[in-house]
Amino acid sequence: MTAVKVHDKYFVPFLSEETIQQKISAVAATISLDYQGKKPLFIAILNGSFMFAADLFKHISGDAEICFIKLASYKGTRSTGHVVTAIGLDTDVTGREVVIVEDIIDTGKTLHNFLPQLYNQQPASVKIAVLLHKPEATVYPININYCCFAIPNKFVVGYGLDYDGLGRNLKEIFQLQGEE
Ligand code: 5GP
Ligand code: MG
């Protein structure tokens, strides 16, 4: 893998396609075991998680459902700290075993805002599956049940994650070059 240019910035290879795929199938196997005999409802948070959600979900065995909501808080390479619900939840979660699927937990603000709305509808349980977690960026601590990769506090793109709309179609994950 070589560096890529997205808009005005250069990004260097960080996680290969193989590394990502191996980890996702291992996490999916753990989730499948944990929910054996149940019918979990996966709620994937768009846009960033669409690729992760697809790859994770196809490795889940047994009955499972998936639906999508759209929350956004990022502009460029920095969080705006302001979370907007662009597409809301259209599925009844009351009494359901919910697994939230997120691309990345950065400050934790997105889930910090969304979780109370979800708990209001009285799901039987809520667990969180994330592809990436930046522990050093935590402002709102979130209890993560399934984490694929804990990463440094640097901006990344690829595999569904964008920089101002671009970079989502990269199969690997790249890190902003030279960022401290
Ligand atoms: P949080 O609310 O936890 O601060 O941020 C969550 C959202 O911000 C993620 O779902 C993702 O869309 C975006 N985000 C956070 N860090 C990054 C990053 O390094 N790269 C990209 N492309 N998006 C990020
Ligand atoms: Mg996201």
Fold classified for 17-156: Rossmann fold (3.40.50)
**What pLDDT is attached to residue 75?**
58
Residue type (1 letter), 47: N
**What pLDDT is attached to residue 79?**
62
Q: Are 173 and 15 in contact, with CB atoms under 8 Å apart?
A: yes
93-116: average pLDDT: 95
Cβ–ligand 1 distance for 162 under 6 Å, the answer yes
Cβ–ligand 1 distance for 107 under 6 Å, the answer yes
> For residue 160, how far is its CA from the centre of ligand 2 (angstroms)?
9
Rounded distance between C-alpha atoms, residue 84 and residue 114, angstroms: 10
User: 93 falls in which pLDDT band (50, 70, 90)?
Assistant: very high
Cβ–ligand 1 distance for 144 under 6 Å, the answer no
> For residue 132, how far is its CA from the centre of ligand 1 (angstroms)?
9
Q: Which two tokens stand for residue 155?
A: 């901006």
Res. 149: pLDDT tops 90? yes
120-143: average pLDDT: 97
**What pLDDT is attached to residue 78?**
65
Could you tell me the CA-to-CA distances from 74 to 25, 85, 99, 165, 179 in Å, in that order? 28, 12, 23, 11, 18
Atom of ligand 1 nearest to the CA of 140: 3
pLDDT digits (tens, 9 = 90+) for 73-92: 655 666 666 677 767 788 89
Classify each residue of 117-135 as buried b or exposed e, where b means 16 or more C-beta atoms within 10 Å of its C-beta: ebeeeebeebbbbbbbbbe
Atom of ligand 1 nearest to the CA of 109: 2
Q: Hey, whose CA ends up nearest to atom 5 of ligand 1?
A: 106
Q: Are 52 and 58 in contact, with CB atoms under 8 Å apart?
A: no
54-69: average pLDDT: 97
State what percent of residues in the chain have pLDDT above 70: 92
**Mean pLDDT of the chain, nearest integer:** 93
Cross-strand bridge partners of residue 163: 166
Residue whose tokens read 């290969």? 16
Rounded distance between C-alpha atoms, residue 2 and residue 55, angstroms: 24
